[in-house]
């Protein structure tokens, strides 16, 4: 029972103690910044980037695995180095175009 009284006294002391007050105009500046950010248009969903990533992923998968069907039997073999080099150059070109567009803003 004495523990509950001690806790109640501690809570009363904490609640009655003077608190830390912000500077007078701090709350107004924060609310101004919040309202300014709220007025900005929402960011668009990055459909182009997702589509580009899917295309690059599919190109990489096709380049990495070649399916041969010579006698009706499906064999999966590794892609020749020329195919892998062309896929790698395509990926590097796509990344460099994306970086160039981002840095040009």
Helix or strand holding residue 65 (H, E): strand 65-68
DSSP H helical ranges for 1-105 = 2-16, 26-39, 47-64, 81-104
Distances (CA, A) of 37 to 22, 40, 41, 44, 45: 22, 5, 9, 15, 18
Work out the number of other CB atoms within 10 angstroms of the CB of residue 35.
Answer: 9
Helix or strand holding residue 77 (H, E): strand 75-78
The pTM (predicted TM-score) of the whole model is: 0.33
- Confidence (pLDDT) at 47: 83
Give 10-residue mean pLDDT values along the chain (105 residues).
Answer: 78 76 84 90 81 79 58 60 72 73 65
Q: Residue ranges of the domains in the chain?
A: 2-104
């Amino acid at each position: 029972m004495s523990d509950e009284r001690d806790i109640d006294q501690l809570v009363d002391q904490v609640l009655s103690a003077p608190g830390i007050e912000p500077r007078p105009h701090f709350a107004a500046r924060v609310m101004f910044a919040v309202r300014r950010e709220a007025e900005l248009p929402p960011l668009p969903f990055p459909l182009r980037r997702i589509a580009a990533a899917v295309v690059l992923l599919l190109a990489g998968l096709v380049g990495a695995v070649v399916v041969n069907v010579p006698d009706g039997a499906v064999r999966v073999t590794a892609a020749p180095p020329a195919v892998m080099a062309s896929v790698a150059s395509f990926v590097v070109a796509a990344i460099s175009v994306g970086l160039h567009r981002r840095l040009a803003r």
